[in-house]
Structure 1
Amino acid sequence: MTRLFAACALMLTAMPAMAQDYQPRETFAPLDLGQSVNRYRSADGMPGPDYWQNKADYAIRATLDTKAKVLRGSERITYTNNSPDTLRVLWLHLEQNLYKPESRGHMASGGEPRGTTSGDIIDSASITLGKGAAQAVEPLIDDTRMQIRLPAPLKPGESVSIDIAWHFTIPGKFGGRMAWGTSKGGEIYDLAQWYPRMAVYDDIRGWDALPYLAQEFYSEYGDFDYWLTVPSDMIVAGSGELMNPDEVLTGEQVRRLKQAKESDKTVMIRSPQEITDPASRPKRGGTLTWHFRMKDTRDVAWTASNQFAWDAARINLPGGKSALAQSVYPAESAGEDRWGRSTEYVKDTVERFSAKWFPYPWPNAINVAGPATGMEYPGIVFDGIDDKGKDLFWITAHEIGHSWFPMIVGFDERRHAWMDEGFNTFIDVYQSDEFNNGEYGPKRDGEYAPGGGNPVNEILPLLADPQAPPILARADTVIEKYRHPVTYFKSALGLILLREQILGPERFDAAFRRFTAAWAFKHPQPADFFRAMASDAGEDLDYWWRGWYYNNWQMDLAVTGISYVDKDPAKGALVSVTSKDKLVMPATLRVTFADGSVKNIRLPAETWICQATSAVPVGGTAKVVKAEIDPDHKLPDKDRGNNSLSG
């Protein structure tokens, strides 16, 4: 989830850095990743031969009460224990309890005033084990978590059915990631975190039931069927595939929807001019029930409004497959400089990411203009009614990009927000470069560095700030001042530097694709990613993980001397390069000779593995006029004043 956040990085005040003595044994020491290698998680960062994952399938029925602003629902969760462990309790998330005045999330934000609700109200709960009868249970509710104590142990390979009835008051715009609000013509409801859902039980921590403090999610995969009963004048867009279009759309809308599935051009399903036309709905008065289905997903979300225009176009996927890009938005958002291009942005982003990283697996990708702006869910994202131009493109590409990280690759956002936000920001940097021949690029200048700056310069104040947390800090501990600069900016820049300066695109891309495919619909940890990239690329990257991710180290490479073999330029020159701070990277040394020739020498990180200063033989038969390290300013070097030396 993001807006243009570079300003956060830009505003960080640079602090004077203390001089550091470079210690090669500290920078290049073997790194303990803190996660054992076993048959669940392999040494090469891939899922092991005995990797397991539990499964949660949902059948949910919900009714939207627009007068009371209440959502009422019931669900059956079929939970399968694929672990080698016998489970005696189940943990579920009740994320609506975030809005209760006494919630941990409320206190974690410093008690900052905001709107409140009564949270999730559990009307009933029961358990069915095997072929037995349903047994009523009394859940233990603690903040945003709910524990159900099983009447009998759930053994490996067994399943249990959990039936829950619930309701909650839908928060207004203070809801943030989910809310109801108004467009000029009427109300829009963006519904997410809307049903009790299973916590993850994994091989790292067992039940991982961290409370919801507003740091996003860690969810189990499964299949969803859900039915939404809403006033008949509403259009509903939801994660997955609409299963009953003939029941909830007009005949003309069904025809247009079929046309869109075959069209690379955007097709209007319900135009802005038709919003106020009663004929654009198949029924007057009462309610309609919309049925959606989505497989292999960790969540579903939806939106509903009687104010939506709706358009769509085909997404072309690898292997001749296709999906449907869609946008729903109120009349004031329409226009070619506004949401009229939203579906074009969605289509292009999904097609490029599918071709470059991993094929999009779901039937629809939907962009919503509503009150819950800048938030992502599987197959559907919520953006702003007023978004337009490059801002709409950037936020659309970013939020749809989350379909890959963490919706396909199931990162633990509650602990490691840098993985989903940083990885996704990394891939959408290249989307901005490529879309429509760079119409909205480069994002590095637009988002990382307002005013056309260089991103490796923009990161310098953050690296110099002794209070800045490392990337690997737990997500909940990162205060707002640092959330975007560290979680998005530094994390994404770390991948860009790894790709473009350390490994090169050929090695990086192959390793990154392999990691993505191997962990699709699974739960990788940071150590899995670090091992996967190093193993596949054939590179010891401990120095990089330690300096950029585990610490907030700075870099200061310098040219400190020019000499000649036997003091004779005709016999070749030596250029001394020095690391004056803890962070090192491969670097380019550019040498200009008196005869006009120029030589670029690529220095590996191991240039500084034994000592702070190395004398680099650069050859030549003439005097060196100038030697400069990192001449193209590709590296985050804090002091460029010592990067060059004249002979």
Structure 2
Amino acid sequence: MKKVYGFCLSAILFASVAVAQNIQNNPGSNHGNKFEQLGTILPTPNEQRTASGAPGVKYWQQHADYDIKCELDENTQTLKGSETITYHNNSPDPLTYIWIQLDENQHNSLNNANYQSATKMPARATDKQLENFALNSADNGFGFNILKITDAQGKSLKYTINKTMMRIETPVLKSGDKFVFSIDWNYKIVDRIAKGGRGGYEFFPADGNYLFTMAQWYPRLCVYSDFQGWQNHQFTGRGEFALTFGDFKVQMTVPADHLVGSTGECQNYAQVLTPTQLSRFNTVKTAKAPVEIVTLAEAKAAEAKKSTAKKTWIFHAKDVRDFAWTSSRKYIWDAMNQKVADKDVLCMSFYGKEAYNLYSRYSTRVVAHSIKTYSDFTIPYPYPVAQSIEAANGMEYPMICFNYGRTNEDGTYSETVKNGMIGVVIHEVGHNFFPMIINSDERQWSWMDEGLNTFTQFLTESSWDDKFPSKRGPAYAIVPYMKLPKDQLEPIMSNSENIVQFGPNAYAKPATGLNILRETIMGRELFDYAFKEYSRRWTFKHPTPADFFRTMEDASGEDLDWFWRGWFYSTDACDISLDEVKYAKADFPKPAKTSKQKPTVDKPILTDDDISKQRNRADKSIKFYTDQDLEARDFYWKYARGLVQIDSSKVKTQEIRLPLEEFTNEEKAKYSNKHFYELNFSNKGGLVMPIIVEFTFKDGTKTVDKIPAQIWRLNEIKTSKFYALDKEVAAIKIDPLRETADIDESNNTWGAVEAVPSKFQLFKAAQAAAGRGQSEGINPMQLEVKKGK
């Protein structure tokens, strides 16, 4: 029989801080809030979207194919186009109209989304800036001019423009029908640098040339889905896009000396490239390093002599949700091949001389590294092309993205610009996966593309250079945002238009949360498997947050509802306080072997009277069994009713053997050197998180215990943990590697740990007036001592 040993603890108390403030969703309880399941918040599973987070047996989505012809007029900065759209109604619903996005109307003074933010009179402003404050009651001429809309037989279709959205009335489109219609349009291209926005032109006064980035440049289908119907929220310039997959054939007529980079694969390089360029391009398929198809010298020569002729470039793209392109005579063009899952991917970059020393060395290599690394963490990159365009910008489209990163006039650059350029290329190329392939609704849930992409960007930066200074991903980096007053915070699960701190909320906080899940809560193996499964399930489909949350749990076996609830649905922060530490050594008193006791006599078991019993007794139709069969009335039936008497004097004192024995000397030796600690914690920030405890022993060694977040289940405000350790502790520190984004590290320590720095005077540095990703001023490259000089 197993022995049960007893010893008492002589306790020594070390208290540190006061009781934590009670921050809860339900002030009436100290538990059962943070760990409540999300069942009542998430949409009900159905045949389209299952409870596991996978597409259901009746999942469907719409499809739209485009055949577009357009012409760019560089002299007037206008674009005209004609497109034929084949829309496939794969839904079970009959449709009587379809919705089209007219994103260029963002720039129109009358047809924009009419979203406004509060403004103040600036201390100083330029005439260009004042244009943004002018009260425009007249049409400024920007935005789409819709010339005609017809069906396949040429019959005009009725349409209505509501700001940045257009409704086209159609014949009844039954499930399985396809509808073919055409739109003719034109618009005036905006100066993207002066006006802002994603698509437009940049003018270079020094050489008199234009660089066009054609994005959101054609009328395009809104998404009609099982979970939302038409996603026709207005385009304000912030919330990005919900788009339908389709196949594209696009013909762009541009000045003959322009180079065109585009979504998809070019069908007529033999007609638009010179023999030399075509020969170089053909070597790229086996190139392991970037090959210049158009050189710096050739780009400078093209800048100096402008052609008046025109060429038409033809591109095809399959299974893409959007289409973008760029055109300029300023471009250097390089490319290399990258293998992804035994498939060749053409990685390319287009950039002007202003970015040559950065982009020629890094851009295409970073593109190749990005698609390879993202493929490792998600799904193999399915497209044949991936490319980066330097355009003083940062925006993404299928197979093409616009980035920044220019040097000083002498060709040098700062480390900040270099790292910013590498980071933005990784980020924008990575958007091919989120949301171009795993096609979430960016307008409703910005974090599903920006947050998931920023997280995978962090993984990709980490494998680019182990010293790369990632700004979003590490838990400690989100602390300044988490510490903000509540009136400056919103839950991640917020519409993009309603977020004050958009960058931290949509990019950094979700990316940080996923990194915490991977490194601290789930572990890399479980997380990576589940993240890949989510990517696989929703490739070329339209996932929602519930699909992501459910898949991560379904594929890992981890109940993470508490994490989604705290990190994504609330504005709580992590602030775990180590309130007190109790220390004890073992004492070994000699236990008594027996005890004399007089057993107690059981009293009758009586239940409280209740309304049911009262009504049963009053109801004469109810016949109780023990009233009908007197043999069912035993001793205890009578005892409960006081109908029998007992003699308590018959109870005798008994000697009871106690379940305790004395330790042997060997056993005392085993426990006498143990050190016992009770650690008491409080949750000051409201966000339940794992508690990571680092013990530093008096001999200088350390050990770490990771306590799962579930320790807070029965009390979300206070908890404790008892330890039996072999060595005496000199110091204790909570979250030593800053894994949980704890906003107050001053209450994380006990004992002789490093002191928290006191406050000191700090002054904000003046902000330099520089363009995005532009090097300027002195940088170390300019100070290098050249050998031989």
TM-score (norm 1): 0.89
Structure 1 residue runs without a partner (length 5+): 1-17
How far apart, in 2, do the equivalents of 1:415 and 1:592 lie?
47
Bigger Rg, which one: 2
- For 2:45, which of 26, 37, 47 is the aligned residue? 37
Partner of residue 755, structure 2:
none
- For 1:70, which of 53, 78, 82 is the aligned residue? 78
Structure 2 residue runs without a partner (length 5+): 1-19, 25-29, 120-129, 135-139, 408-416, 589-671, 753-789
How far apart, in 2, do the equivalents of 1:622 and 1:394 lie?
46
Partner of residue 162, structure 2:
142
Deviations 1:120-140 (A, max 9, x none): 111110123xxxx34211211
- For 1:578, which of 681, 686, 692 is the aligned residue? 681
1:14-25 alignment to 2 at 5 Å?
19-21=21-23, 23-25=30-32
Partner of residue 731, structure 2:
626
How far apart, in 1, do the equivalents of 2:131 and 2:511 lie?
32
Partner of residue 483, structure 1:
502
Partner of residue 275, structure 2:
251
Partner of residue 234, structure 1:
258
SS at match of 1:514: helix
Cα deviation, residue 109, structure 1: 4.1
For the pair 1:428 / 2:457, whether they are aligned, the reply is yes
Cα deviation, residue 631, structure 1: 2.4
Contact 1:575 1:627 in 2 (8 A): no
Contact 2:63 2:245 in 1 (8 A): yes
- For 2:581, which of 556, 561, 568 is the aligned residue? 561
Contact 1:96 1:193 in 2 (8 A): yes
Closer/same/farther in 2, CA of residues 639 and 370 from structure 1, 3 Å limit: closer
Partner of residue 7, structure 1:
none
Partner of residue 185, structure 2:
166
Contact 1:329 1:369 in 2 (8 A): yes
How far apart, in 1, do the equivalents of 2:235 and 2:678 lie?
55
- Structure 1 stretch displaced more, 199-208 or 109-118: 109-118
Deviations 1:554-594 (A, max 9, x none): 22222223244766874552422323232111222223445
- For 1:299, which of 322, 327, 334 is the aligned residue? 322
1:421-570 alignment to 2 at 5 Å?
421-435=450-464, 437-438=465-466, 441-444=468-471, 454-462=476-484, 464-479=485-500, 482-559=501-578, 560-564=580-584, 570=673
For the pair 1:28 / 2:35, whether they are aligned, the reply is yes
1:81-120 alignment to 2 at 5 Å?
81-110=89-118, 113-114=131-132, 117-120=141-144
For the pair 1:209 / 2:216, whether they are aligned, the reply is no
How far apart, in 2, do the equivalents of 1:595 and 1:386 lie?
54
Partner of residue 324, structure 1:
346
How far apart, in 2, do the equivalents of 1:286 and 1:203 lie?
49
- For 1:415, which of 418, 429, 444 is the aligned residue? 444
Cα deviation, residue 277, structure 1: 4.1
- Residue type of the partner of 2:175? P
- Structure 1 stretch displaced more, 306-315 or 25-34: 25-34
Closer/same/farther in 2, CA of residues 200 and 565 from structure 1, 3 Å limit: farther
Closer/same/farther in 2, CA of residues 238 and 638 from structure 1, 3 Å limit: same
- Residue type of the partner of 1:538? G
Q: How big is the alpha-carbon RMSD for the aligned residues of Structure 1 and Structure 2?
A: 2.4
- For 2:721, which of 607, 611, 616 is the aligned residue? 616
Deviations 1:107-155 (A, max 9, x none): 3345895395431111110123xxxx342112111111111111x2101
Contact 2:347 2:368 in 1 (8 A): yes
For the pair 1:356 / 2:385, whether they are aligned, the reply is no
Contact 1:46 1:518 in 2 (8 A): yes
Cα deviation, residue 498, structure 1: 1.1
SS at match of 1:358: coil
Contact 1:57 1:79 in 2 (8 A): yes
Cα deviation, residue 399, structure 1: 0.8
Contact 2:403 2:425 in 1 (8 A): yes
Cα deviation, residue 366, structure 1: 1.4
Partner of residue 782, structure 2:
none
Closer/same/farther in 2, CA of residues 644 and 370 from structure 1, 3 Å limit: closer
SS at match of 1:176: coil
Cα deviation, residue 338, structure 1: 4.4
How far apart, in 1, do the equivalents of 2:587 and 2:158 lie?
87
Closer/same/farther in 2, CA of residues 476 and 620 from structure 1, 3 Å limit: same
Contact 1:256 1:268 in 2 (8 A): yes
Contact 1:572 1:617 in 2 (8 A): no
Closer/same/farther in 2, CA of residues 278 and 501 from structure 1, 3 Å limit: closer
How far apart, in 1, do the equivalents of 2:332 and 2:488 lie?
47
Closer/same/farther in 2, CA of residues 546 and 389 from structure 1, 3 Å limit: same
- Residue type of the partner of 1:580? N
Closer/same/farther in 2, CA of residues 268 and 280 from structure 1, 3 Å limit: farther
Deviations 1:594-617 (A, max 9, x none): 566644222011111012433323
How far apart, in 2, do the equivalents of 1:136 and 1:206 lie?
26
Cα deviation, residue 430, structure 1: 1.7
Deviations 1:291-314 (A, max 9, x none): 001111100100001111111111
Closer/same/farther in 2, CA of residues 597 and 257 from structure 1, 3 Å limit: closer
How far apart, in 2, do the equivalents of 1:470 and 1:253 lie?
51
Closer/same/farther in 2, CA of residues 120 and 592 from structure 1, 3 Å limit: same
Contact 1:456 1:634 in 2 (8 A): no
How far apart, in 2, do the equivalents of 1:367 and 1:404 lie?
15
How far apart, in 2, do the equivalents of 1:147 and 1:120 lie?
14
Cα deviation, residue 69, structure 1: 1.2
How far apart, in 1, do the equivalents of 2:221 and 2:532 lie?
29
How far apart, in 1, do the equivalents of 2:112 and 2:545 lie?
26
